[in-house]
């Protein structure tokens, strides 16, 4: 079920924060519940993925330790657990409204298609993973009925696409039958391109007239250097060490974790000031 990966579902909460609901308990409760449902859904998808990839995982020096590949978890139990988790997510998702339920269905459908074969199609597989993050953002907005910024969707998609291609870099040295095969030169160019485009998109978001009008301030631009540091730090770690797991990289590297924390505090203060909160 990979609880460490549940951190990715924090994207569900982002629309509430940027819509000025950072200190609104009912709104936070609803987006928190939606994020919890995505944890259930993503866990179901991981279980199915591990069943489908079990033979290839056994040949991988790291993935061979996954419970299904290692024989510690039976296929029948893994599939039953996946069905139960997905079922719970759907049933409880109905409580949050049709919009959240639809987002969950789209997320599960995309990831099932990914696990069952689309993960082998270069470029498309990365775009599917990135789309999953956009669906999370949409679910957060739908949970509290707020309009989501197109800039937030663009930045979220580009950042997720960057991470999707970056995680393929270490696989060049130990390719698997269940992973797409990319030329090293292509990945280098794709990661460099997306890092730059993501940074430009974020800066444009901070200086956009609608953003500044929404927050009654130009201060969000002050967070851009922190975002730049975070992107460059991640690229540094990727080049120096390689990493198949962006979440593990974030949690293991103190400077990168500190950058995320500083950005969250600065953005939170700016949003709170816009709402007239102390």
Interval 191-217: pLDDT, tens: 999 999 999 999 999 999 988 888 888
Query: Is the pLDDT higher at 102 or at 175?
Result: 102
Could you give the CA distance from residue 95 to residue 163 in angstroms, rounded to a whole number?
32
Could you tell me which of 22, 34, 6, 10 has the C-alpha nearest to residue 143? Answer: 34
Output the average pLDDT for the chain: 89
HSE at residue 208, side-chain half, CA atoms within 13 A, is 14
**Can you give the pLDDT at residue 278?**
35
Share of the chain above pLDDT 70, in %: 96
**Are 256 and 234 spatial neighbours (Cβ–Cβ below 8 Å)?**
yes
- pTM of the model as a whole: 0.87
Residue 244: pLDDT over 80: no
Residue 35: pLDDT over 90: yes
Band (pLDDT 50/70/90 cuts) for residue 61 is: confident
Segment 42-55, tens digit of pLDDT: 999 999 999 998 98
Could you tell me which of 233, 234, 226, 213 has the C-alpha nearest to residue 264? Answer: 226
Query: For the chain, which domains are there?
Result: 3-148 (1.10.357.140)
**Can you give the pLDDT at residue 271?**
79
**Are 165 and 191 spatial neighbours (Cβ–Cβ below 8 Å)?**
yes
Per-residue CA distances from 47 to 10, 70, 125 (Å): 20, 13, 18
Residue 242: pLDDT over 70: no
Could you tell me which of 173, 162, 174, 179 has the C-alpha nearest to residue 121? Answer: 179
Segment 119-163, tens digit of pLDDT: 999 999 999 999 999 999 999 999 998 888 888 899 999 999 999
Residues 6+ apart with CB under 8 A from 9: 35, 36, 38, 39, 42, 136
Segment 82-129, tens digit of pLDDT: 999 999 998 888 889 999 999 999 999 999 999 888 999 999 999 999
């Amino acid at each position: 079920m990979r609880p460490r990966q549940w951190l990715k579902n924090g994207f569900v909460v982002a629309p509430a924060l940027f819509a000025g609901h950072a200190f609104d308990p009912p709104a936070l409760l609803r987006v928190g519940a939606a994020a919890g449902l995505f944890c259930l859904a993503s866990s179901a998808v991981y279980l199915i993925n591990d069943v489908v990839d079990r033979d290839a995982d056994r040949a991988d020096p790291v993935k061979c330790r996954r419970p299904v590949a290692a024989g510690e978890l039976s296929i029948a139990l893994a599939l039953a657990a996946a069905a139960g988790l997905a079922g719970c997510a759907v049933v409880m998702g109905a409580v949050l409204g049709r919009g959240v339920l639809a987002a969950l269905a789209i997320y599960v459908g995309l990831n099932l298609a990914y696990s069952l074969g689309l993960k082998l199609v270069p470029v498309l597989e990365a775009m599917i993973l990135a789309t999953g993050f956009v669906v999370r953002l949409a679910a957060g907005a739908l949970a509290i009925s707020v309009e989501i910024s197109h800039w937030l969707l663009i930045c979220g998609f580009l950042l997720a696409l960057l991470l999707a291609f970056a995680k393929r870099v270490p696989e060049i040295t130990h390719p698997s039958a269940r992973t797409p095969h990319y030329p090293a030169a292509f990945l280098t160019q794709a990661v460099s391109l997306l890092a730059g485009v993501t940074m430009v998109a974020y800066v444009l978001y901070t200086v956009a007239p609608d953003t500044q009008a929404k927050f009654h301030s130009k201060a969000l631009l002050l967070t851009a250097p922190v975002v730049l540091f975070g992107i460059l730090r991640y690229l540094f770690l990727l080049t120096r060490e390689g990493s198949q797991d962006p979440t593990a990289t974030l949690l293991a590297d103190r400077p990168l974790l500190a950058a995320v924390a500083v950005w969250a505090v600065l953005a939170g203060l700016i949003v709170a000031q816009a709402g007239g909160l102390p």
